[in-house]
Chain A
Amino acid sequence: MQDDLVFRPARELAGLVRSKEVSPVEVTEAFLARIEELNPKLNAFITVTADTARSGAREAEREIASGNYRGPLHGIPYAPKDILATRGIRTTNGSKVTPDWVPNYESTVTERLRGAGAVLLGKLNLLEFAMGSGVLSGFGPSRNPWHLDYSPSGSSSGSGTALAAYLTPLSIGTDTGGSIRAPAAACGIVGLKQTYGRVSRYGVTTLSWTLDHAGPMTKTVADAAVMLRIIAGRDPKDPTSSAEPVPDYEAALASGVERLRIGVPSSYFFEGANPEVDAAVRAAIGLLGTLGARIVEVDVPHAELAGSAGWIVAMAEASAFHEKRLRETPELFDPLVRERLETAKFYSATDYIKGLRVRTILQDEMARVFESCDVMAVPGSTQLASKLDDEIAAKSDVKPGSTSPAFRGGNTFLGNMTGLPAITIPCGFSKGPPELPITIEFYGRPFDEATILRTAHAYESATDWHRRRPPL
């Protein structure tokens, strides 16, 4: 039974815990055992908080036994990206610049999860400060469970790895240009970047104040819905957080996609896609059509600028945020992070403002898109997971001998530039070898996470991609 527990989604575990068929202690021990077995080769966790987890699980067990059940995360383990501050627990940001930082405050997201009774397993690896190489970041690369020579992408790399390898049932990632959705795509799990302001950024180390989001990374859409409901809502500690009412996302899941209009862009988002990705995503859209959705064509005329304009905004803000650390200890940074922060010093104020004006254009264009559809579907990533860089290639964005485009990014950066909610879920695997995940991404209207969750859940319920296990 204990071995089997790690393969169950959080919602299923919650049912077992609530009915007292399984104790939170048993669940926690099952995950700790799997972490001990597999983390040495996957490097998903930077810190394992086994003692904290065990005491949290025992407390949950006592509370539930005495009839004080807090809800669907009570006694359920989780692990956040190690960029969310946890009071009294080392928070490294994946960096040798801050390797021993022990915050004296708690991020709002982890505070809310703790309040819901979730059990902290530890802190997960990431690309340094959410923008590094992974390979040369402070704690080395996480590895993709589908093939250990491959990258889990990032920057929430440890979250993608840990979920795909069943080291945790739930995680929190952060997303400034795609850092929740890109590892979700590379690792074949669920990544939700909700509307900007829906979830507090308090206690999340900044990459870009205006683009950062912290959101759920899970094995199933229903688990993402449960997690979002708990972490969402106004937070006085984050002035950009929204007072928009938080609906019951789980209740919305059962609505299906009948008569829902799904927009498929006629340009940009599929361009240059791996043929297997293109075919799988279009097949997924076709399946939604057979489930009752109406497929309509849409266009985002300036989508190709989302990546480049977003990069200017993100890196200009990051360079401002890290100014002091970069001046005092440049040699401690991942060489790629250092290069990105230093090159950003040569962007002009005009470049930055122009990036913000492109944001207006993209927001307007997406508002027009949602006049003719309810959800927009695009590939989660146009490419399959790539091999981990060697140490030379990892040092710079300028790859020797590479003829590939510098950076594309629009499929995900669009969500950060517009603030719109987006969810990435598995929709296939490449033929291989190695067999690697393929994903589809759904965009929705502002604060309408319920509709993208419902669409994703309808697709997931009709397929079994999310049940596949990597060959570990």
Chain B
Amino acid sequence: MTAMTPIRPIRQRREVLKLLVAGGVLGPAAAAAIQEDAKLSTEILERAAALFEAGIEPARIREILPAVQRNRDFFRAVRELEIGDEVEPAPTFQAKR
């Protein structure tokens, strides 16, 4: 079994920032940055598609934008999870008994 340093509970950075903005600790610029960070646009997605050579037409990008946004929100907990350095990926099943 991999020896792990404690994994932090899922506490998203965004939630902490929101609390700080709501409490007046951070100002409107931080609030705007959070908002901007959370929203994708067709322009952003078109640039990403070009970068990844995704081969998706601009018209289609407009159609899938809400789904990409939804996935991004859904995956945030995974993206923001802090994992100890010693936790290696499991490319496939490992029988741990």
Q: Are A357 and B83 touching (Cβ within 8 A)? A: yes
In the complex, whether B77 has a CB less than 8 A from a CB of chain A is yes
| Known contacts A361-B83, A446-B95; A345 and B89 CB within 8 A of each other | no
Q: Does A398 contact B (CB under 8 A)?
A: yes
A407 to B67, CA, bound (A): 12
Instruction: Knowing A346-B45, A364-B1, A446-B96, say if A359 contacts B78 (CB, 8 Å).
Output: no
The answer, yes or no, to whether B66 is at the interface (CB within 8 Å) is yes
Q: Which residues of A are at the interface with B, using a C-beta cutoff of 8 A? A: 195-197, 209-210, 240, 301-302, 304-305, 308-309, 311-312, 327, 339-340, 342-343, 345-347, 351, 353-361, 363-364, 366-367, 370, 396-398, 406-407, 418-419, 445-447
Alpha-carbon distance between A295 and B6 when the two chains are bound, in angstroms: 27
Chain A residues near B97 (CB, 8 Å)? 367, 370, 445-446
Contact partner, B78, options A301, A327, A358, Cβ 8 Å: A358
Q: Smallest Cβ distance from A258 to chain B, in angstroms?
A: 23
Q: Is the CB–CB distance between B70 and A398 below 8 Å?
A: yes
In the assembled complex, which residues on chain B have CB atoms less than 8 Å from the CB atom of A359? 89-90
Chain B residue nearest to A417 (CB atoms) is B90
Known: A240-B92, A308-B78. 7 other contacts (CB 8 A): A302-B81, A305-B78, A346-B52, A351-B78, A397-B71, A398-B66, A446-B97
Interface contact B64-A304, CB-CB below 8 Å = no
Interface majority SS (helix, strand, loop, mixed), chain A = helix
Interface-facing stretch out of B12-20, B24-32, B53-61:
B53-61
The docked-state distance in angstroms from the alpha carbon of A183 to that of B50 is 39
Partner of B48, one of A346, A357, A397, A419: A346
| B88 is an interface residue with CB less than 8 A from chain A | yes
Max chain B C-beta neighbours (<10 A), residue from A195, A312, A361, A370: A361
A-B CB proximity, top 9 nearest: A419-B93, A356-B89, A196-B93, A446-B95, A367-B96, A345-B54, A359-B90, A398-B66, A360-B90
A343 contact set on B, CB distance < 8 A:
64, 67-68, 71
Contact B55 A312 (CB under 8 A): no
Task: For B92, give its contact among A210, A340, A446 (CB under 8 Å).
Answer: A210
Chain B residues, Cβ within 8 Å of A370: 97
Question: Which residues from B are CB-within-8-Å of A358?
Answer: 78, 81, 83
With A363-B90, A398-B70, A446-B95 already in contact, the answer to whether A351 and B64 are too (CB < 8 A) is no
Task: Give every chain B residue within 8 A of A312 (Cβ-Cβ).
Answer: 75, 78
Known contacts A304-B77, A361-B83; A345 and B95 CB within 8 A of each other: no
The answer to whether B7 and A396 have CB atoms under 8 Å apart is no
Judged by DSSP, the binding face of B is loop
Q: How far is the CA of A176 from the CA of B91 in the complex (A)?
A: 15
Contact B67 A363 (CB under 8 A): no
Q: Give A176 Cβ to nearest chain B Cβ, in Å.
A: 13
Q: Would you list 17 pairs from A and B whose C-beta atoms are within 8 A, ordered by A residue? A: A195-B95, A196-B92, A301-B7, A312-B78, A340-B67, A342-B54, A346-B68, A358-B78, A359-B89, A363-B90, A366-B96, A396-B66, A398-B66, A398-B67, A406-B73, A419-B93, A446-B97
Any A CB within 8 A of the CB of B34 = no
Instruction: Quote the shortest CB–CB distance from B2 to chain A (angstroms).
Output: 6
The residues of A that contact B88 with a CB separation of less than 8 Å are 357, 360
Report Cα–Cα, A27/B10, bound state, in Å.
55
Question: In the complex, which residues of chain A have a beta carbon less than 8 angstroms from the beta carbon of B77?
Answer: 304-305, 308
Instruction: A188 to B1: give the CA distance in the assembly, Å.
Output: 37
Q: From A447, which residue of chain B is reached at the shortest CB distance?
A: B95
Q: Compute how far the CA of A351 lies from the CA of B66 in the bound complex, rounded to whole angstroms.
A: 19
Task: Kindly provide the distance from the CB of B48 to the nearest chain A CB, expressed in whole angstroms.
Answer: 6
- Cα A121 to Cα B85 with chains together (Å): 52
Contact B55 A327 (CB under 8 A): yes
Measured CA separation A302–B81 after assembly (Å): 10
Asked if B1 and A367 sit within 8 Å, CB to CB, the answer is yes
Complex interface: chain B residues within 8 A of A398 (CB): 66-67, 70
Give every chain A residue within 8 A of B89 (Cβ-Cβ).
353, 356-357, 359-360
B61's nearest neighbour on chain A, judged by CB, is: A342
Nearest chain B CB to A195's CB is how many angstroms away? 7
Please give, as numbers and ranges, the residues of chain B lying within 8 Å of A364 by CB-CB distance.
1-2, 4, 96
Q: A346-B52, A361-B7, A398-B70 are in contact. Are A354 and B87 (CB under 8 A)?
A: no
- Chain B residue nearest to A360 in the complex (CB): B90
Which B residues are CB-close (under 8 A) to A351? 75, 78-79
B81 CB, min distance to chain A CBs, angstroms? 7
Q: Which of B45, B68, B94, B96 has the most CB of A within 10 A?
A: B96
Alpha-carbon distance between A419 and B70 when the two chains are bound, in angstroms: 27
Bound-state CA distance A351–B80 (Å) is 10
Distance in angstroms from A85 CB to nearest chain B CB is 22
In the complex, how many angstroms separate the beta carbon of A156 from the nearest chain B beta carbon? Answer: 21
